[in-house]
Structure 1
Amino acid sequence: MESYKIFIVEDDPWYGEILEYHLSLNPDFSISRFTTGKDCLANIHQNPDLITIDFSLPDFSGDKLYQKIQAVNDQIPVIVISGQEDIPVAVNLLKMGVADYLVKDDSTKDLLWNAVNKIRQTGSLKKEVEHLKEELGKKYSFDKSIKGQSAALQTIFALMDKAAKTNINVSITGETGTGKEVVAKAIHYNSERKKKNFVAVNMAAIPRELIESELFGHEKGAFTGAVARKSGKFEEANNGTIFLDEIAELDMSLQSKLLRVLQEREVIRVGGNEKVKLDIRLIVATHKNLADEVKKGAFREDLYYRIIGLPIELPPLRERGNDILILAKYFIEEFAKENKLENITLAQSAKDKLMRYNYPGNVRELKAITDLAVVMCNGKELTAEDISYPTVNADETFTAEEKTLRQYTCDIVKYYLKKYNNDVIVTADKLDIGKSTIYKMIQTGELV
């Protein structure tokens, strides 16, 4: 384990030795002691984890030295130790951001010990959180979060890269299931705000009467059931990114309030007067055409121009060519790994079947299809027979795959044979075709 580096700045050698001895009882602590602020600043390049400073040094007062330390590295926590109990001074220092203010007396050693350990623990948690956010950023690198190599996807990557380099608002459109939230997250975690919050809100999922409170927060007693102050999603996302999914579903009366928040860059909680300043990155998404919604009078034109920013239109999966197979292989591998199954490959028949389907539910539907196919697969190779398509709408499902008339005919005959327990005569009667036609299809292998 790396030692925890502490600087003690104390002009009284005897008292400095006491503090050094006491903190040195922890073998993980590495102590360096200085008698002036100037000496401390000359060695600050060593990046100490914590600094304790005497408030009354010969060359600097505690507040001045703290400001100079902050100017060099504002991540170093500082504890001020004073010979006098001066409440206004203590309050001012704490407002400035010092980690703690201690008065020299018999209990100082123990108070310092507790303060250092608390700061160390908090610092470790912060470093862990930052590490996790860094890892999350790697996870959401464009090529890792969005699978595919199609030309359409490369265009999207180029737009995402431009969005990530600036704070411009982003509006993402595309059919349901194309991955709008994945794109929003990738932009956030590749931007300068990646260490701050990403807050996603589905506007269509929140009841109309609750959405104002959910977005902007409320004060205690603002309405029945408001038993305490609650921060809204905008406050939660402050300094980070807020993602408003299905923005077109927002009620007209709330659109004007959202416009005011975006224009003023501040929010007022429901039932309150306090203005909370905002520094946020806005990303919105919808499966509708917002320009058409404006023409229909269902969406405010001024809000439209405020949020449109950099538009990114995600292509439907059916227009992404070989990306279908790339995604299918990825989903199959992930599902097998999660369920501790052996590696499963795609047979050519399965590839052909996957490429013929229309995917009205896009990437989300492909994942559901491949997950089920892996479950139905009996060996290490997934075949066309393992793949079945959802029947949410029979008419749409029947025409979802682009097939020849002969292929559709075979599908219909297979369906009726299965329905009537492979009785060729009954099937021929139901379809009003000759039974010899069905026998010939069986002999040629078309009904396998």
Structure 2
Amino acid sequence: MKSLKIFVVEDDDWFNKLIVHTLSLNPDHEVISFKTGKDCLRRLNESPDVITIDYRLPDMTGDELLEKVSESDRRIQAIVISEQNEIQTAVDLLKKGAYDYLVKSEDIRDRLLNTIKHISENRALQKEVVILKKEVREKYAFSNAVIGQSSKIKEVFDLASKALNNNITISIVGETGTGKENLAKAIHYNSIQKEGSFVAVNVAAIPDGLIESELFGHEKGAFTGAQTRRIGKFEEADGGTLFLDEIGEMSMNMQVKLLRALQEREVVRIGSNKPVSFNCRIIVATHKDLKEEVKEGNFREDLFYRLLGLSISLPPLRERGPDIILLAEHFARLFAKDNGMPPKRLSDSAKSKLNKYHWPGNIRELKSVIDLAFVLSGEEEITSDHISYSESENMDDLMVTELTLREYTRKIVQLFMKKYNNNTKTVAEKLDIGQTTVYRVLKELEEEQ
């Protein structure tokens, strides 16, 4: 099958044959010629990829034919060919949608072939983009992006599905490593915003002095080092989704500016007074309890309610029951595929060990554990001997050795401090003890070192 269908519209018999002969030298071209614009229009239903248009035809002008072609199918690339080197005419035609304007001269064949080459390359790139978009959508289909069959993850699916046909702001809450960004991507690529870009910003990873420029952009010369204009993430996400990860880490000063941007649906680049409007869905994520952050004065209450929207809580892996093994098997298959290796199964002992662990690092930790186990296992099966954790001990190991109540208390506090990122308030709540008790235990441990 020919890769490029080209219509040639030229009333001069000699020049018509010249163009047809030149283009037909490439075996991938299917070339059909016409003497009038009307003849060409009658066969537009054959969907040509390119049309070369003589500017002065017997029945209509080149710009008239160009306009009718554009109305019929804007994907058709039109090349206007004229005897006159008229700059203003060329500019007008390019504004109307012509791909190129060529003058009939000695080098017309080379210039025409060069233009056709560029069109072919652009079409190939467009096809590649379409294929990549399809692959991304398949990758982030809910069944692929958020794997699980537990009741808690099904509740997440049900909530997320309610956001697909609208533009509601979404707030995702969950411990580190639970897959908040994956869920955000799944929502985007299955929603009405899927044709737009998914733009992710990790608020915690950007210094406070740079976050405004990152989100809103800046003009050339706005500050030292601003050598060119930079488009901010809000503008970049226009028509799509802006994902603000770890929103709880944003400074109070930046929270004020973010609130205004969300209220007005516009941003002002640093160094400019001109507002730039945007239209994108906002998805935020955090591992913190923002209500508590509001109470403690670390997060603005008005911004909290502006961002709340549809709230989705991602459960930690230890509360997802059968999903642990489902995910483990998925990561084992993925590792085998990515590395061109034969698949390996999980033994009963491996599954038992995986189910007993409390997974402080959640899904991210599980993937690392399975990747390592796959490498360590030389056979077709991954056993419990190949499963190793980064922590020196877990709650099951803790009960093997007989200790005093005081020693057990210290070890439990240590484990929970690791599990909850050294947040003494959260540890106190989870263990149902006073925060002062946690401080006392940590002080005793420090003094003993």
Whole-angstrom distance in 1 between the partners of 2:64 and 2:168: 38
**How does 1:400-439 map onto structure 2 within 5 Å?**
401=396, 409-410=399-400
SS state of the match for residue 354, structure 1?
A: helix
Whole-angstrom distance in 2 between the partners of 1:130 and 1:88: 36
How much has 1:209 moved relative to structure 2? 0.7
**1:308 is the counterpart of 2:298:** no
RMSD, aligned α-carbons: 2.7
Closer, same or farther: CA 53–340 of 1 in aligned 2, 3 Å: closer
Q: Residue 208 of structure 1 corresponds to which residue in structure 2?
A: 208
Query: What TM-score do you get using the length of structure 1 for normalisation?
Result: 0.81
**1:278 is the counterpart of 2:309:** no
How much has 1:171 moved relative to structure 2? 2.0
SS state of the match for residue 178, structure 1?
A: coil
Q: Which amino acid aligns with 1:229?
A: R
Whole-angstrom distance in 2 between the partners of 1:333 and 1:351: 15
Whole-angstrom distance in 1 between the partners of 2:199 and 2:353: 38
Whole-angstrom distance in 2 between the partners of 1:304 and 1:82: 62
Closer, same or farther: CA 383–257 of 1 in aligned 2, 3 Å: same
C-alpha deviations, 1:147-180, integer Å up to 9, x for none? 2111222222233333233333322221111101
Q: Which amino acid aligns with 2:328?
A: A
Whole-angstrom distance in 2 between the partners of 1:295 and 1:317: 28
**1:76 is the counterpart of 2:76:** yes
SS state of the match for residue 218, structure 2?
A: coil
Closer, same or farther: CA 384–267 of 1 in aligned 2, 3 Å: same
How much has 1:360 moved relative to structure 2? 2.0
Q: Residue 428 of structure 2 corresponds to which residue in structure 1?
A: none
How much has 1:378 moved relative to structure 2? 5.5
1:133/1:194 contact within 8 Å kept = no
Closer, same or farther: CA 152–110 of 1 in aligned 2, 3 Å: same
How much has 1:218 moved relative to structure 2? 1.8
How much has 1:338 moved relative to structure 2? 4.2
Closer, same or farther: CA 378–3 of 1 in aligned 2, 3 Å: closer
SS state of the match for residue 231, structure 2?
A: coil
Q: Residue 437 of structure 2 corresponds to which residue in structure 1?
A: none
**How does 1:188-337 map onto structure 2 within 5 Å?**
188-337=188-337
Q: Which amino acid aligns with 1:46?
A: E
SS state of the match for residue 81, structure 1?
A: strand
Q: Residue 352 of structure 1 corresponds to which residue in structure 2?
A: 352
2:81/2:104 contact within 8 Å kept = yes
Whole-angstrom distance in 2 between the partners of 1:39 and 1:277: 45
**1:107 is the counterpart of 2:103:** no
How much has 1:372 moved relative to structure 2? 3.2
Whole-angstrom distance in 2 between the partners of 1:300 and 1:110: 64
How much has 1:265 moved relative to structure 2? 3.6
Q: Which amino acid aligns with 2:400?
A: C
Q: Which amino acid aligns with 1:410?
A: V
Query: What TM-score do you get using the length of structure 2 for normalisation?
Result: 0.81
Moved more, 280-289 or 32-41: 32-41
**How does 1:103-142 map onto structure 2 within 5 Å?**
103-142=103-142
Whole-angstrom distance in 1 between the partners of 2:162 and 2:59: 49
SS state of the match for residue 80, structure 2?
A: strand
**1:89 is the counterpart of 2:79:** no
How much has 1:85 moved relative to structure 2? 3.1
Whole-angstrom distance in 2 between the partners of 1:337 and 1:116: 39
1:259/1:303 contact within 8 Å kept = yes
Closer, same or farther: CA 168–38 of 1 in aligned 2, 3 Å: farther
**1:176 is the counterpart of 2:166:** no
2:2/2:27 contact within 8 Å kept = no
1:130/1:195 contact within 8 Å kept = no
SS state of the match for residue 186, structure 2?
A: helix
Whole-angstrom distance in 2 between the partners of 1:56 and 1:266: 47
Whole-angstrom distance in 2 between the partners of 1:274 and 1:91: 29
Q: Residue 158 of structure 1 corresponds to which residue in structure 2?
A: 158
Percent of counterpart pairs with the same letter? 53
SS state of the match for residue 134, structure 1?
A: helix
Moved more, 29-38 or 317-326: 29-38
Q: Residue 445 of structure 1 corresponds to which residue in structure 2?
A: none
Whole-angstrom distance in 1 between the partners of 2:19 and 2:35: 13
Whole-angstrom distance in 2 between the partners of 1:105 and 1:372: 66
The alignment of Structure 1 onto Structure 2 pairs a total of residues equal to: 403
1:317/1:359 contact within 8 Å kept = yes
Closer, same or farther: CA 324–69 of 1 in aligned 2, 3 Å: same
Whole-angstrom distance in 2 between the partners of 1:6 and 1:86: 25
Whole-angstrom distance in 1 between the partners of 2:38 and 2:216: 47
Whole-angstrom distance in 2 between the partners of 1:315 and 1:305: 22
Closer, same or farther: CA 198–111 of 1 in aligned 2, 3 Å: same
Q: Residue 382 of structure 1 corresponds to which residue in structure 2?
A: 382
